[in-house]
Chains A and B, each alone.
Chain A
């Protein structure tokens, strides 16, 4: 080969490598903060055909159809660090599913960039799929009429897991998820809780670095919910799996996540540690107090939410009011039998934040 040709080849090779390196900058930089998901200015608009009502409209829509643009995701930027358990919260139609679909490569963004584990999800979906796991609400990875073990074996094959490794992995998962005796029962015969445990186990068969969980505890009873939460925590601790959790259940969020991203109308409304959310956004405390006899709390500068008979429910805005004074006022009202002081439930905090978000018309989009 001529020298110049060789140099060109090397240059090209180098360029190619450089490109690859660019996209994996996050790993090269290293350090304590490793963002394994980076989303920047992500946008997604859908074009939906609209039709006027009635016969005329139907006919018109064939010949000159009208389209309406729906902006499902509007400039979302976020980062997720390795080993985090992140809550992704939003009301229905907020753009959650759309965002997750883009992060997993099922949907192409209209604009903006996404980088998951160094991959561009839409362009490198296949390579990415080896490293992520998903549990999406209604979509099951398990064959309905067959026992979970069969599905596990099939998935092992799909993810190119070596036979020996697969066997060991299944044994481990059987232990962690306590699904050992469920292995040979057809999935359709399992209870919802059992099925979800098997689903989550199936989704981590190939030891993914990130799992996307969409409403994993929906429809489950309290005991089972707790169990699933414990499993998720264990997973995160032992295998250092990053968990991207979508949930409407504040119990999930409170117990599992340190950080929450709240989206509404396709935009990020809040991106904060749960602790801070409580502290910053709502500094409200609720005092439930029960007296020996009926009391009158009026004209005492108290924010009474509910007053019935001997009981009062008072709200205190700790950033504005002095809780010491409020307590004094309350105690002076009568003989106190019982008192409970609690924080505003997370649900209420979140609803409040939803409402605070940018206005605009509600729309129903493909979430």
Chain B
């Protein structure tokens, strides 16, 4: 079991190096896309700056808190698509039968698929979050380490949620639209102060669209450390990983039985 985990980590690292070198082939494209993404995201700084000019707190957050939220979200998202760049292609691969190539290789199919691609612009998101964090918090080492930790857990939860929804394609014919929506939901919810959401919505944010565990609680922990909440975040991350794996492998069994029910419509 441990041997497997070690091998998987080695594979991830290798793919990481491999992807970086293939991205560097198109150096100009890499710089342009990353930089463009950073610019893209900074538009929101403008938005919040104006809003906070008009009012002091929104949903219990001030400007700094909001920027912190953005930083964690951006780097989590970035890390997710840098390491697991193929996550949003899973549905396409299921429908096209592209999974077969991966099934024939002697490595864990899910990890193999996820890591085999990197999204160039996501590097921009990753860097943006880090830069923003440093601008806001300065050289606070403890906070920065916590930040990195939560970006990793955030990336893991983000990708697990996406894998979960993509794995639904094993059962229905095409959940691409649904997964796109889920991605947008995840991002959109994660960039607004928690306090503006109440009731049912808040419930959703703690369960099926776990923005709370990706950004809200982590941001809170960076502001004010709490061991309990830290363990909570870890626990939820592990839980989502298990859910994603379970869903994917159950679906894979179905795929291998060849009984993909194709909706003739």
Contact = CB atoms under 8 A, between A and B. Distances in A.
Given A136-B100, A150-B18, A150-B21, 19 more contacts: A47-B259, A50-B264, A51-B264, A51-B265, A61-B263, A61-B265, A106-B103, A106-B104, A108-B256, A129-B104, A141-B101, A143-B22, A145-B25, A150-B22, A154-B14, A157-B14, A158-B105, A158-B106, A160-B106
Contacts of A352: none
B98 interface: yes
A33 interface: no
Contact of B107 (A50, A104, A134, A158): A158
A257 to B, nearest CB: 23
Interface in B10-24: 11, 14-15, 18, 21-22
Interface of A: 44, 46-51, 58, 61, 98, 101, 104-108, 122, 125-127, 129-130, 132, 134, 136, 139-141, 143, 145-146, 150, 153-154, 157-160, 366
B148 to A, nearest CB: 27
Given A51-B264, A150-B18, A46 B258 contact: yes
A146 B256 contact: no
A104 B99 CA distance: 13
Nearest to A127: B106
A101 B103 CA distance: 11
Interface in B60-106: 97-98, 100-101, 103-106
Interface string B233-262: 000000000000000000000001111011
B18, B100, B258: most-surrounded residue (chain A CB, <10 A): B258
Contact of A44 (B105, B258, B262): B258
Contacts of A126: 106
A321 B103 CA distance: 55
Interface in B208-247: none
Interface string B166-180: 000000000000000
A44 to B, nearest CB: 7
A145 B22 contact: yes
Interface pairs A-B: 5 shortest CB-CB: A129-B106, A51-B264, A139-B101, A130-B106, A106-B103
A160 B106 CA distance: 9
Contacts of B97: 139
A143 to B, nearest CB: 7
A104 B257 contact: no
B104 A104 contact: yes
Contact of B11 (A49, A107, A125, A157): A157
Interface of B: 11, 14-15, 18, 21-22, 25, 97-98, 100-101, 103-107, 112, 256-259, 261-265
7 contacts: A48-B262, A49-B261, A125-B103, A129-B104, A146-B22, A154-B15, A158-B105
A146 B18 CA distance: 11
Given A150-B22, A159-B106, A46 B259 contact: yes
Nearest to A134: B104
A126 B112 CA distance: 13
B12 to A, nearest CB: 11
A49 B106 contact: no
Given A130-B106, A145-B22, A158-B105, A122 B256 contact: yes
A48 B112 CA distance: 30
Contacts of A46: 258-259
Given A146-B25, A154-B18, A129 B258 contact: no
Contact of A107 (B98, B101, B258, B262): B258
Nearest to B257: A108
A157 B14 CA distance: 8
A49, A141, A145: most-surrounded residue (chain B CB, <10 A): A49
B100 A106 contact: yes
Contacts of B18: 150, 153-154
B258 A366 contact: yes
Contacts of A145: 22, 25
A46, A104, A157, A160: most-surrounded residue (chain B CB, <10 A): A157
Contacts of B11: 157-158
Nearest to B105: A158
Contacts of B112: 158
A174 B215 CA distance: 51
A141 B102 CA distance: 9
A95 to B, nearest CB: 12
A204 to B, nearest CB: 14
A88 to B, nearest CB: 17
A49 B262 contact: yes
A106, A132, A154, A160: most-surrounded residue (chain B CB, <10 A): A106
A134 B102 CA distance: 12
Contacts of B25: 145-146
Contacts of B21: 150
B10 to A, nearest CB: 8
A139 B98 contact: yes
A101 B104 CA distance: 10
A136 B107 CA distance: 19
